[in-house]
Amino acid sequence: MRNDIDKGLFISKEDRMILRKLAERVAHLAARPIEEEKKELWYSHNSLGDVKPLIFCDPENGWNEIITKDVLECKGDLARAWETVLRKEIFWGESMGDDRVTDSFFNIPYVFTESDWGMHEEIIGGADGGSYRWDAPLKDYKDMDKLHYPEIHVDYETTDKLYSLAQEILGDILTVRVKGFWYWTLGLTQTLVKLRGLEQIMYDFYDFPDELHKLMAFLRDGHIAKLEFLESNGLLSLNNDNTYVGSGGFGWTRELPKEGFIPGKVRLCDLWGFAESQETVNISPSMFKEFIFPYQLSILKKFGLNCYGCCEPLDNRWDIIKDIPGLRRVSVSPWSNLEDMADKLQKNYIFSMKPNPTYLAVPRIDEDYIRKSLREALRKVRNCRVEIIMKDTHTIGRNPENVIRWCKIAQEEAASI
């Protein structure tokens, strides 16, 4: 098995030349004065300064329609993966037109395995990226004794080899560093519905409330155990930079790390945290307050600054989540009432506005409609600290120009207010 892994760490001379040329383009983009200007905009924005609404567009699955397989020049699998990373940076820096900073870092993630919770859902369908359902494994709460906390095993040897290889090929052009990416959301309910099933959870709130509380407490403790493992083993990385945080936006802030920080020993209090609960969008605020939020709060209290929310509207949960310590970035989904959320957030939080991504999922976007809808939305939230985040773009209509034009329109409308 070790030999198979080592074989995958080879990059040919030809592929190295391709990667170096791309890295040089990234380095050139990162050295532009405008990148420092954008960085300062994010610093001010994240500290609730009065700057223009910042724009970020993440094509997500739409990247497959921008950087297609025939665009990639490298032959080896690892080289093609790195080529994709570099080409994304180049597209963002040369073509996208949003406010994302192009920097000179080339990040190598830790190589690791993570066990499940003692049970694992069976995926049914999903071929070729299509829809799927899952068979939730926790059929009866009596089987909870079969659950255990996930365990992380880091392959330090392979991680070091990847770092050394990247340093050898790109280190004189870009700054190569190991940077851990261990989780996205700490909201718990994604794991909950995988174990128990979304429909079943809706019954459990009424039929098995005590058992559901017990399961939520177990998931909370398991997530905390994971975070403490990462912290105690020096595996956390600061996210106060160009790191994507929450469900959109970037971590640039001088408020983190906290006082007492020692380089190389990142604590949870030095980081942005994030939680959401999209899966429970249909339950009442009182049920959310009883069954979900207390368990999330125990985790979020550990972080220096926090983001909350994703696709779920937070209008009727605001009076609950506003008690999160260090809450700074609040997601305002396409299903939110903009005026209501503007009144709630005012200038005290980042208003992370998420326009509907379906406007980009067509061969050619309706520019007039997009401009009109953005203008109207910005009028409603003009007294807030706004960022406009285009995400969840499962397709961009096979037309990369869609994201470019959306960014240009968004920038023009942001500048006009």
Using the predicted structure, report yes or no on whether residue 3 has a pLDDT greater than 50: no
* Cβ–Cβ under 8 Å, residues 395 and 62: yes
Cβ burial, residue 290 (10 Å; 0-12/13-18/19+): middle
- pLDDT tens for each residue of 68-82: 999 999 999 999 999
Average pLDDT over residues 8-22: 97
Average pLDDT over residues 156-167: 98
For a pLDDT cut of 90, what percent of the chain falls above it? 96
Using the predicted structure, report yes or no on whether residue 182 has a pLDDT greater than 80: yes
Q: What pLDDT score was predicted for residue 1?
A: 40
- The residue among 153, 149, 73 whose CA lies nearest residue 116 is 149
Helices and strands per DSSP (H, E), number in the chain: 15, 12
Per-residue confidence band for 6, with pLDDT thresholds at 50, 70 and 90:
low
State the average pLDDT for the chain.
97
Using the predicted structure, report yes or no on whether residue 2 has a pLDDT greater than 50: no
Give a three-class secondary structure readout of 42-85: HHHHHCCCCCCCEEEECCHHHHHHHCCCCCCCCCCHHHHHHHHH
- pLDDT tens for each residue of 372-389: 999 999 999 999 999 999
- pLDDT tens for each residue of 263-306: 999 999 999 999 999 999 999 999 999 999 999 999 999 999 99
- pLDDT tens for each residue of 118-136: 999 999 998 887 889 999 9
Using the predicted structure, report yes or no on whether residue 7 has a pLDDT greater than 80: no
Q: Which CATH number fits domain 51-60+109-158+170-416: 3.20.20, 3.40.120, 3.30.450, 1.10.3470?
A: 3.20.20
What DSSP designation does 149 have? Answer: -
- C-beta atoms surrounding 91 within 10 Å: 17
Q: Which residue has the higher pLDDT, 129 or 210?
A: 210
Using the predicted structure, report yes or no on whether residue 180 has a pLDDT greater than 70: yes
Would you kindly state where each structural domain of the chain is located, as residue ranges? Answer: 51-60+109-158+170-416
